[in-house]
Amino acid sequence: MKFSVGALLVAAMAAVSAQVTSPIGVFNVSSPTPNSPYVAKQILPCTYQLFQDVDTSGISMNINLVSAATGSNVTLNIATNADMSKSSNSAKQNGNVTYYEHSVNYLIPDTVVPGNYKVAFIANGAALDIPITILPAAASSSLAAKSGSATGSGAGASSTGSGSIFTGDATRLDLTTKTVVALAAVAGIALAL
Ligand SMILES: *[C@@H]1O[C@H](CO)[C@@H](O)[C@H](O)[C@H]1NC(C)=O
Ligand SMILES: *[C@@H]1O[C@H](CO)[C@@H](O)[C@H](O)[C@H]1NC(C)=O
Ligand SMILES: *[C@@H]1O[C@H](CO)[C@@H](O)[C@H](O)[C@H]1NC(C)=O
């Protein structure tokens, strides 16, 4: 499957419409995508949009990766006091709506037991849970090689995580690659379609 600009646009629109709004109406989450697979040892992008009309200065945001396995008490911290700032640096425009987007790129530890998890975005104690599946690292290397090829043929992309493209590059990611990560997320979705 060769993905085109058209496919990317469709994926981008799908990604926008898939946004999940927090119960206290402070932010949306655009990544991770609910019920999508992500791969251990790869990047799990956690992206949220702050609403313009909300004063976020007194709100603290923690992001956790929580196992959904019965009887498990595994909770891994993705971010503590994540960025809640609303500056021109993070401002984005959608029509005449301004919002403020922040992203945390979490490297899923190799030690994570594959299975069902939720990514909990917790603002002042109110949680927005995004269910995801974590796949084992070993299963991903061949997939990553495939989806990373020049033709972008992601035939078996059932387990595409947006991070799969960045195999081996995780430690080199920094905030300036945020856009690239966003595009990769879109590409990941395109491959999954
Ligand atoms: C948040 O998500 C809702 C529901 O998808 C959408 O209508 C709204 O435009 C989004 N707001 C921002 C700022 O992203
Ligand atoms: C979590 O589970 C492990 C073993 O399953 C146990 O040793 C540990 O005490 C538990 N921690 C909490 C906080 O319940
Ligand atoms: C701008 O937002 C207002 C409501 O806040 C809406 O009525 C109007 O249609 C919007 N204009 C555009 C160009 O999207």
Q: CA angle 90-37-131, nearest 5°? A: 70
Query: Does residue 162 have a pLDDT over 90?
Result: no
What is the reported pLDDT for 82? 97
**Nearest residue CA, atom 8 of ligand 3?**
96
The answer to whether position 182 is within a domain reads: no
Q: What is the total count of domains within the chain? A: 1
What is the reported pLDDT for 143? 53
Q: Which of 114, 129, 103 minimizes the C-alpha distance to 49?
A: 103
Percentage of the residues of the chain whose pLDDT score is greater than 70:
62
Average pLDDT of the residues in 98-122: 97
Q: Is the CB of 28 under 6 A from ligand 1?
A: yes
The answer to whether position 178 is within a domain reads: no
**Nearest residue CA, atom 6 of ligand 3?**
96
**pLDDT per residue over 66-92, tens digit each?**
999 999 999 999 999 999 999 999 999
Residue-number span of the structural domain to which 74 is assigned: 25-135
Query: Does residue 138 have a pLDDT over 80?
Result: no
Q: Is the CB of 77 under 6 A from ligand 1?
A: no
Q: Is the CB of 21 under 6 A from ligand 1?
A: yes
Determine the Cα–Cα distance for residues 49 and 150; give it in Å rounded to an integer. Answer: 32
The answer to whether position 189 is within a domain reads: no
What is the reported pLDDT for 141? 53
The answer to whether position 10 is within a domain reads: no
Ligand 3 pocket mutation pick from 94, 96, 98 by most atoms within 8 angstroms of CB: 96
Q: Would you state the structure tokens that stand for residue 3, as one six-digit string? A: 């993905």
The answer to whether position 180 is within a domain reads: no
Phi, psi dihedrals of residue 102, rounded to the nearest 5°: -130, 150
Highest mean pLDDT among 68-77, 133-142, 183-192: 68-77
Strand intervals (E) in the chain: 20-21, 27-31, 36-39, 43-51, 61-67, 75-79, 91-94, 97-107, 115-123, 126-135
DSSP annotation of 24 reads T
Residues 69 and 188 sit within 8 Å (Cβ to Cβ): no
Q: Would you state the structure tokens that stand for residue 138, as one six-digit string? A: 């070993």
Query: Does residue 9 have a pLDDT over 80?
Result: no
DSSP annotation of 111 reads T
The answer to whether position 152 is within a domain reads: no
